[in-house]
Amino acid sequence: MELHAAWYEVLGLVEMLLRQSVDNALADWNHRALLPGGGTRDWLTTAARPLDSLAAKMSRDAQVAAQKAADKRPRNHPRFNAPVIHDDLVAQLTFGNLAHLLPTKAAPTNRSTRATGRSARENLWLHGLINTFPNRAQVWPVGARGDTAGRKVCLGYHVGNTIGRLRDLRNRVSHHEQTLAANHAARHEDALLLARAIDPRAAAAISELSTVPRVLARRPRF
């Protein structure tokens, strides 16, 4: 229970940092992708391909949740009766939503039916989501600056699977399920590496706040 409580802090901060950086990367990508006809940074409501199909359900869910949150604002709230905007939608996105946008598991073996030779998630990563991690070259040298598109796509799978592992741990912690068999030390390293690839200063702050290693070191052994 104490370890799960420690994870709440770390995973909450990493999820917030990741959500903010994904939003910035996709807003930039969406604006470029929709030019010259009228680029917009509101990628959840006016998305370019292939994001439009990947984000369709999460966009609908986010709009419903954001409107419910807006309807509950008291009269003294600074945004009482204010319309729902893009930032309200982004605030509703979960670890699961973010993981859904990334390539995960293994690369497809048959690419002959794809016009670009890559899947929608691979293309979205290669041209947009990779910029979620501006410090990636210092954290993951392979697939960073100057590397081939193929190596960058491989990095996308590594990042997607890393986020997926953290999402699975977050779900078990949130549902008060046992995590005795989880590799907590490896997942803690995953969390800090993701944060470091986004912002080294944020990663340092999360590392300083985290009590996961200290609690884990006191784990009873029989």
- Residue-wise pLDDT tens digits, 119-171: 899 999 999 999 999 999 999 876 445 567 888 998 999 999 999 999 999 99
55 versus 112: the higher-pLDDT residue is 55
- Examine the pLDDT at 60 and tell me if it is beyond 90: yes
| Mean pLDDT (whole number) for 12-24 | 97
pLDDT band of 19, cuts 50, 70, 90: very high
Helix (H) or strand (E) holding 133: none
Q: Is the pLDDT of residue 16 over 90?
A: yes
pLDDT at 111 over 90: no
Predicted TM-score (pTM) of this structure:
0.91
The DSSP secondary structure of 9-58, one letter per residue, reads HHHHHHHHHHHHHHHHHHHHHHHHHHTTT---S-TTTSPPTTHHHHSHHH
